[in-house]
Structure 1
């Protein structure tokens, strides 16, 4: 799959918000509807809901759309092999400063350790990357090891929506120069797409008003166990940095 630069990766409002550690920041549809982005939570340390997700991770962890890096920093502090990828240079720099390992890449770029990651995370609405859930699920399946685990954070409503959006700061009246494709999926919609793509649902839960689903890739063995259960912004091709990057060990 080839990808083109999406406006939000270089959008001043996004980079400015990450540097400040606060919003307000929104995704805006063409009809003017606004989806708030939780910049303050993304820029803080991993909270109890995040920590529960990280407890469920298996093996080496790839955090797709890692943002400013709270999850990869926490995994690094635990001594876990983890890598974050994000198309925002500002986000990647923030993640590295926190102590995590991160690269400026799209999930659709060539990545280290392809086919060998134990867990892929799609947190904070990143299940919407690229606006094509099936394409994203197929790509994640190629990144995971056989029987690998995907943990995705879904919308807290039953929705299955593909839209064009912009990143906007309504307070200062500024936004990205162009729109990019995005998707919003509730858990039922994600599970429908996943079944059609050959994934197996192994858990779903809610915590702190947030919703999650855990899926096994299509090559999972029949003996694979589900993680413990209670009751993962965009798909453009980014500049590849030089230098070595972490690769999961086998």
Structure 2
């Protein structure tokens, strides 16, 4: 039986997003996900086909069935490494949030897709329809942030995403990210489509694809240090440690911050996976 934590600081986690705040940077890219009907439809159905498509027609299959299934052994290996309270950025249908909640961990998922947030809530997890670039509950107090299923690509600007993540975790906090199992560092404009030849949605947004060497290079520039690298189930992962306030910084605590201390901001954005 999972422990109940109020991590949202919001009365209606699935409320429609408001306008992005000034200076939100890459947050606008996520609005395309929120409006991408093929994605919401696939999540509600629990299956694809679903793709990210570049302007030149190149397709990236999205693994909707895996996202909608229970956490697999590779996922469980990620969750075993989490420290303190956990923020799952681009939580999708919520398999990781639900598994952590079932373990009694304090965890919150954020996603711009209404269908993804609803699915996560239905699994018993806590989730907000919100962008990683928007103001979030508990900023600077998360023990671990997750960027799984290709969500290192959010916004198409890895440096901006790493800076934002650093502002979310405690000093010395942990970022666990999934990378591509090949050496790639690519930025592109993409859209979500349900079929390879489906008409364009007109909602194009920036995305990035990173292998481990590329992510480690960007992370080093932003002051993150490598805490681990591993592969599981054909997938690749990196754990990064943020700057500590001092060399003797205490490890993050697993207790939840009470909700009255956390902000309430409606907003939007949707990261998903890429492979």
User: Normalising by the residue count of structure 2, what TM-score does the alignment of the two structures yield?
Assistant: 0.79
Structure 1 position 48 matched with structure 2 position 48: no
Cα distance, 1:174 vs structure 2:
4.6
* Gap runs ≥5 in structure 2: 1-22, 252-264, 268-275
Match of residue 266, structure 2, among 219, 240, 244: 240
- Give how far 1:122 is off: 0.1
Q: Aligned-pair RMSD on alpha carbons?
A: 1.9
Residue of structure 2 in register with 1:31 after alignment: 56
How many angstroms apart in 1 are the aligned matches of 2:249 and 2:232? Answer: 25
- Name the residue aligned to 1:146: 171
Q: 2:51–2:196: 8 Å Cα contact kept in structure 1?
A: no
More relative contact order, 1 or 2 (CA 8 Å, 6+ apart)? 2
Q: What is the Cα deviation at residue 240 of structure 1?
A: 1.3
Structure 2 distance, partners of 1:38, 1:46, is 13
Q: CA deviation at 1:217?
A: 0.4
Q: Separation in 1 of the partners of 2:160 and 2:172?
A: 19
Distance (whole Å) between structure 1 residues aligned to residue 125 and residue 60 of structure 2: 28
Q: Deviations over 1:204-232 (max 9, x none)?
A: 01110000000000226546899xxxxxx
- Name 2:8's counterpart in structure 1: none
Deviations 1:110-155 (A, max 9, x none): 1000000000000000000000000000000000001000000001
Q: Tell me if 1:80 matches 2:109.
A: no
Structure 1 counterpart of 2:190: 165
Match of 1:129 in 2: 154
* 115-124 vs 8-17, greater mean Cα deviation: 8-17
The alpha carbon displacement at 1:190 in A equals 0.1
**Aligned counterpart, 2:121:** 96
Task: Go from structure 1 to structure 2 and tell me whether the alpha carbon gap of 1:174 and 1:106 turns closer, same or farther (over 3 Å shift).
Answer: same
1:10 aligns with 2:35: yes
Q: Is the 2:171–2:249 Cα contact (8 Å) retained in structure 1?
A: no
Query: CA contact under 8 A between 1:13 and 1:174: conserved in structure 2?
Result: no
Corresponding residue SS for 1:205: strand
Distance 2:162 2:237 in 1: 15
Note the C-alpha offset of 1:30. Answer: 1.0
In structure 2, relative to structure 1, the CA distance for the partners of 1:225 and 1:55 (3 Å cut) is farther
User: Quick check: 1:202 aligned with 2:259?
Assistant: no
Pairing 1:219–2:244 present: yes
